[in-house]
Amino acid sequence: MSKQGQHWTWDAVLTGIVPPVISPLTDAGAIDVPALDGLSNHILAEGATGLFILGGCGEGAWLTSGQRLDVVKHSVKVSAGRAPVLAGVMLPATGPTLDEVRRATDAGADALVAGSPYYNDVDGDAHVRHIEAILDASPLPILLYNIPQSTHHNIAPSSVAKLAHEPRILGIKDSSGNLAHFQALLRIKERRPDFRVLQGAEFAMAASALLGGDGAVPGMGNLTAGTFKELFEAARRSDLASVRTLQIQINDLAGLHSLAGHWLASLKGAISLLGYGAGIPAQPLVPASPAQLEAIRKCLESHLPAHLAKRVAQH
Catalytic residues: 145, 173
- Reply yes or no: is the peptide bond before residue 284 cis, omega within 30 of 0: yes
> Rounded to whole angstroms, what are the CA distances from 6 to 76, 81, 82, 150?
12, 4, 6, 33
> Rounded to whole angstroms, what are the CA distances from 278 to 269, 271, 273?
7, 9, 9
| Strand runs labelled E in 162-295 | 169-174, 196-199, 215-216
- Cα atoms in the Cβ-side hemisphere of radius 13 Å centred on 52: 35
CB 120 within 8 A of CB 137: no
Report d(CA 16, CA 49) in Å as an integer. 6
Would the CA dihedral through 37, 138, 216, 81 be positive or negative?
Answer: negative
Report d(CA 101, CA 133) in Å as an integer. 10
Report d(CA 28, CA 167) in Å as an integer. 42
